[in-house]
Amino acid sequence: MVNSLQLLFGIWLGMLSLPGEKLPFNFDLQKVNGKIVMIIHNAEERIKCDEVTASGDSLFIRIPVFDSEFRVKISDKTMNGIWINYGRKGNPSIPFEAEYNNANRFPITKKPAVDVSGRWEVWFDEGTPDSSLAIGVFKQIDEKVSGTFLTETGDHRFLEGIVNGDSLMLSVFDGSHCWLYKSHVTNDHIHGVQWSGLTYKGSWKAKRNDTIQLRNPETISHVEGTLAFTFPDVDSNLVSLSDSRFKNKVVIIQIMGSWCPNCMDETAFLSEYYKKHHEEGLEIIGLAFERFPEFAKASLNVKRIAKRYDVNYPLLIAGVSGKENVGKTIPQLKDFISFPTCIFIDRNGKVQEVHAGFSGPATGTDYQQYIRKFTLKVTQMLR
């Protein structure tokens, strides 16, 4: 077993080797009740990885919820190994290294020459078929920066970085998302490059815009006709929307996947909300579209979600991930664009609203606004 002389507990700086760049993130190693725990840092977010196995000079660290893990060797104050993402076909791995007692996510060599705090109109990959609009929301204190990008399908979760002179650098790693952003800021404009995983490299640009808005998420997708479905739960029991337990109830249909970080943020919120309001006549059904068609593998991943977030509403295995697959599986749902998506059904079985995407805790005020609107809507439906 790895002992305290070989494994140093405290802060580490991890690096994932992307093509031509290295993505940094900090993490703690701790010993909790005799067990090794890795805690990943992304701004104010802390991800506790407590499925850790030590063998000889090696650690095997399973990421909670997401189907990925680190395999590393320990040598004095360094780690070297790989991060394997089993949620992707071919089980791609990314080289990983870490240095003990380094809390600087990015090196700081200059005083900040700009302040990026505020709201930004952002274009990713402008001029290409994949071009898309987003909103950058940043908060800067001295050289430290946190924030996220809001898109119509969700947010980029908790970004953390610095302003070094006139350069803005941000990164996030949560076991599924793996993004690095580097840019220059001049006269309220930003021009930069972004990387993700082993294959993606693109451009991004931004300008200050306090009034920038995305499309209304309640008008993008819709349901035609009467919604109906039957899918197995994680124990192979068939569950139908027409079952008696859902009659005369307010029902929220959550379309999600275990591979989707925004879905996990939404699941954490819905799980707690369900516990508080189930007795008032609220039901929630999660429809999981997984990356692999094998039921056993899909159900195992979805069970991990249920355990992690203490989900008491049914999670059903609905199909394989992909927007086109959702349309084929639930043909009444039109113009589907986003995991997650929520469908709100009243006590009479009528669809009241379809909400695309989810603005998670990393979005700050946007998240609070969504929670207020959600609470008001469901309260009115329950009454």
Render the burial of 143-163: b for 16+ CB within 10 Å, e for the rest. eebbbbbbbbbbbbbbbbbbb
- Average of per-residue pLDDT values in the chain: 95
Yes or no: is domain 118-208 CATH 2.40.128.120? Answer: yes
Three-class DSSP category at 81: strand
Three-class DSSP category at 187: coil
Q: Is the pLDDT of residue 5 over 60?
A: no
Average pLDDT for 171-185: 96
**pLDDT tens-digit profile of 183-227?**
999 999 999 999 998 999 999 999 999 999 999 999 999 999 999
Contact indicator for 148, 159 with CB cutoff of 8 Å: yes
Of 77-81, 91-95, 238-242, 271-275, the least confident: 91-95
Confidence class of residue 7 from pLDDT cuts 50, 70 and 90?
Answer: confident
- Residue with the bigger pLDDT between 76 and 244: it is 244
User: What local confidence, expressed as pLDDT, does residue 88 receive?
Assistant: 81
Fold of 10-100: Lipocalin (2.40.128)
Residue type, 13: L
CATH 2.40.128.120 residue ranges of the chain are 10-100, 118-208
CA geometry: angle 246, 252, 257, nearest 5 deg? 115
Q: Which residues contact 231 (CB under 8 A, 6 or more apart)?
A: 238, 239, 287, 316, 317, 318
Confidence class of residue 177 from pLDDT cuts 50, 70 and 90?
Answer: confident
User: What local confidence, expressed as pLDDT, does residue 4 receive?
Assistant: 42
Say how far apart CA 340 and CA 141 lie, in whole Å.
32
- Residue with the bigger pLDDT between 2 and 136: it is 136
**pLDDT tens-digit profile of 119-146?**
999 999 999 999 999 999 999 999 999 9
Q: Which DSSP letter does residue 246 get? A: G
**pLDDT tens-digit profile of 365-374?**
999 999 999 9
Q: Which CATH superfamily is domain 222-382 in?
A: Glutaredoxin (3.40.30.10)
Confidence class of residue 92 from pLDDT cuts 50, 70 and 90?
Answer: confident
**pLDDT tens-digit profile of 318-367?**
999 999 999 999 999 999 999 999 999 999 999 999 999 999 999 999 99
User: What local confidence, expressed as pLDDT, does residue 187 receive?
Assistant: 92
Torsion of CA 64, 67, 71, 76, to 10 degrees: -30
Q: Which secondary structure element, helix H or strand E, spans residue 297, and what is its range?
A: helix 295-308
Q: Which secondary structure element, helix H or strand E, spans residue 264, and what is its range?
A: helix 261-277
* CB-count exposure of residue 76 (10 Å: 0-12, 13-18, 19+): exposed
pTM score, two decimals?
0.93
Contact indicator for 155, 149 with CB cutoff of 8 Å: yes
